[in-house]
Structure 1
Amino acid sequence: MPSLSLVGKVAIVTGSSRGIGKGIARIFAGAGAEVVVCSRNLDGKLESAADEIRKLGKRSLAVKADVTRQADIDNLVKKTMDEFGAIDILVNNAGTAVRTPVFEHSEEDWDRVVDTNLKSYFLCSRAVGRVMMEQKRGNIINISSMRGIVAAPGRVSYTVSKAGVLMLTRVLALEFASYNIRVNTIAPGWVRTELTEHQWKDPKICSEINATIPMDRWASVDEMATVALFLASELSSYVTGQTLVVDGGISAA
């Protein structure tokens, strides 16, 4: 019977020093995967994420990588292959945001957000995809956002980049399907993370946001990570090119 087990699998999770990425890395390790964690900075947070995985009895590798740079991505892939000999799962999770009206939004900020949220997903998927094609198996999970579906003012580069991830997923799914590689997207809504702490810990702001969520609450990191586990497992073996919106009903309204 198909299961959620990832025993024998090797996963790379980008942007995994904190938040959703760290949660996914931890859930994957709990399901039996060896996990490579990476972020732009090789600091205590990234090493802590790797240590949490090791405490679960699985091997982990912490790699410094700016995933907007091809050379860093190539190094990430090489280190993973040298250590583990395969890459079964890639989670593209690195992200950033700028909240600025269009006429105040600088070109530099546009490039930084789009490069991180969209270009890096293309570059990582292409680099890891070559390995997966040779293996004749693989699974790519892209982390987008409900803001790729539901527009909001003051977030032009973020919403456009996240919308781009949805189409990138569909194109990659079609190109990679014959190699037994699945590609899917998760589009989270409001999630309690370190980056959103200033919002969900403020009673007034939190209440205003809850009023826009049909389920009247924020999601936990684990509620995103378990969806990623489903997509990474054999339980979703015939699912590709899809976006799972996990937003408490916002996009259904």
Structure 2
Amino acid sequence: MDLDLRDVHVLITGAAGGIGLATVTEFLGHSALVSAHYRSTKAALEESVVCAEAARESRLACVQADVTKEEDVMRMFQEAEEKIGKPVTVLVVNHAVYNSTPAPLHTMSLSQWNETLTTNLTGSFLVLRQFLARLAKVKEEQGIDSEWMRNVAVVLIGSTAGEFGEAGHADYAASKSALTHGLQLSLKNEIVQLHPRARVNTVAPGWVRTKMAEESMKDERIKYQALATTSLNKIAEPEEVARQVALLASNRVSGHTTGQVVMIHGGMEGEWHSFAITNKN
């Protein structure tokens, strides 16, 4: 399917992780121009044959930033647009931190809570704010009918934790719920003031086959909890999430879709917990 994303500049945060890398590859496959953000290492991007070829053709730029720092976020957008040669008009907010060690709320440290909310929520705010500010600048200089403005969209990466909650990970669940509900629903009404056809949507995965998930799934208790209410009885592949991101980013396919949360969870009906299971030695 032609998503009409050729030469659209897409910036993806957290692009060196499992879902992020799959999303980079997906957009490159649709002939988009991609800026791939990373915080500490870009090894996965460099090791990808697809990414290496795209970089040689100047269709991929790797940009480093700590998204919790205003100056880093501003520099990231500037570098991305200088390297690619045109404004970012599609933004995928994918970065996040998740503490794999369960911590009930009554024992969770303030430092853990603050780190998760600062990265997942405040970091997303800073990235979104800069995207909107630069969009406003392009509108002022080029007008909304510019070829650069033909496809304007934001796709947030949420989580089933933001829908159902997740015992032992209230910090992560709270950050994702705030991002994909209160923030998304506010933003989808604001962004149209900058571009009347700009859209904001969310893809919310459940368990996805990443390195961290595969390690967790070795624990039969975790695997049982993850699949207990999942109709398809499997976890998602990163590529399955990435395809949904590209579909929502495409005006051709999703031009009248905004403010929606698309769940990629195999039919999950909620987080299943049992005291006997979760506390078994």
Q: Is the 8 A contact 1:100 1:155 kept in 2?
A: yes
Q: What is the CA–CA distance in structure 2 between the aligned matches of 1:42 and 1:205, rounded to whole Å? A: 29
Shift of 1:52: 2.7
2:145 equivalent to 1:127: no
Shift of 1:248: 1.1
2:228 equivalent to 1:235: no
Q: Residue in 1 aligned with 2:38?
A: 39
Q: What is the CA–CA distance in structure 2 between the aligned matches of 1:106 and 1:242, rounded to whole Å? A: 33
Shift of 1:45: 2.6
Q: Residue in 2 aligned with 1:80?
A: 80
Q: Residue in 2 aligned with 1:153?
A: 167
Q: Residue in 1 aligned with 2:240?
A: 223
Q: Residue in 1 aligned with 2:98?
A: 97
Shift of 1:199: 2.2
Q: Residue in 2 aligned with 1:53?
A: 51
Corresponding pairs, count: 251
Displacement over 4 Å in runs of 4+: 201-204
| Alignment-mate amino acid for residue 7 of structure 1 | R
Q: What is the CA–CA distance in structure 1 between the aligned matches of 2:80 and 2:110, rounded to whole Å? A: 34
Q: Residue in 1 aligned with 2:277?
A: none
The CA deviation string for residues 154-185 of structure 1, in whole angstroms up to 9 with x for no partner, is: 11101100100122111111001231321111
Report the secondary structure of 1:184's partner residue: strand
Q: Bigger shift: 17-26 or 129-138?
A: 129-138
| Alignment-mate amino acid for residue 156 of structure 1 | A
Distance 1:43 1:21, change over 3 A: closer
Q: Residue in 2 aligned with 1:11?
A: 10
Shift of 1:120: 1.2
Q: What is the CA–CA distance in structure 1 between the aligned matches of 2:179 and 2:162, rounded to whole Å? A: 8
Matched ranges for 1:195-210 at <5 A? 195-202=212-219, 205-210=222-227
Which among 108, 121, 124 is matched to residue 111 of structure 2? 108
Shift of 1:90: 0.7
Q: Bigger shift: 242-251 or 30-39?
A: 242-251
| Alignment-mate amino acid for residue 214 of structure 1 | S
Shift of 1:6: 1.2
| Runs (5+) with no aligned partner, structure 2 | 272-281
Q: Is the 8 A contact 1:212 1:250 kept in 2?
A: yes
Q: What is the CA–CA distance in structure 1 between the aligned matches of 2:121 and 2:111, rounded to whole Å? A: 15
Q: Is the 8 A contact 1:47 1:62 kept in 2?
A: no
Q: Residue in 1 aligned with 2:275?
A: none
Q: Residue in 2 aligned with 1:28?
A: 27
Shift of 1:250: 1.3
Report the secondary structure of 1:195's partner residue: helix
Q: What is the CA–CA distance in structure 2 between the aligned matches of 1:251 and 1:211, rounded to whole Å? A: 9
Q: What's the C-alpha RMSD, in Å, of the aligned pairs?
A: 2.0
Q: Is the 8 A contact 2:11 2:88 kept in 1?
A: yes
Matched ranges for 1:158-177 at <5 A? 158-166=172-180, 167-177=182-192
Which among 263, 270, 276 is matched to residue 245 of structure 1? 263
Q: Bigger shift: 233-242 or 129-138?
A: 129-138
| Alignment-mate amino acid for residue 95 of structure 2 | A
Q: Is the 8 A contact 2:229 2:269 kept in 1?
A: no
| Alignment-mate amino acid for residue 192 of structure 2 | A
Shift of 1:203: 5.3
Q: Is the 8 A contact 1:90 1:140 kept in 2?
A: yes
Q: What is the CA–CA distance in structure 2 between the aligned matches of 1:26 and 1:170, rounded to whole Å? A: 28
Q: What is the CA–CA distance in structure 2 between the aligned matches of 1:190 and 1:219, rounded to whole Å? A: 6
Q: What is the CA–CA distance in structure 1 between the aligned matches of 2:171 and 2:270, rounded to whole Å? A: 23
When Rg is computed on C-alpha atoms for both structures, the one with the higher figure is: 2
| Runs (5+) with no aligned partner, structure 1 | none
Shift of 1:65: 0.7
**Percent same amino acid at aligned positions?**
29
Query: Taking structure 2 as the reference length, what is the TM-score of the superposition?
Result: 0.83
Q: What is the CA–CA distance in structure 2 between the aligned matches of 1:181 and 1:130, rounded to whole Å? A: 14
Distance 1:240 1:55, change over 3 A: same
The CA deviation string for residues 93-129 of structure 1, in whole angstroms up to 9 with x for no partner, is: 1011123111221111111101111111111011011
Q: What is the CA–CA distance in structure 1 between the aligned matches of 2:42 and 2:245, rounded to whole Å? A: 25
Q: What is the CA–CA distance in structure 2 between the aligned matches of 1:63 and 1:12, rounded to whole Å? A: 9
Q: Residue in 1 aligned with 2:210?
A: 193
Shift of 1:58: 6.0
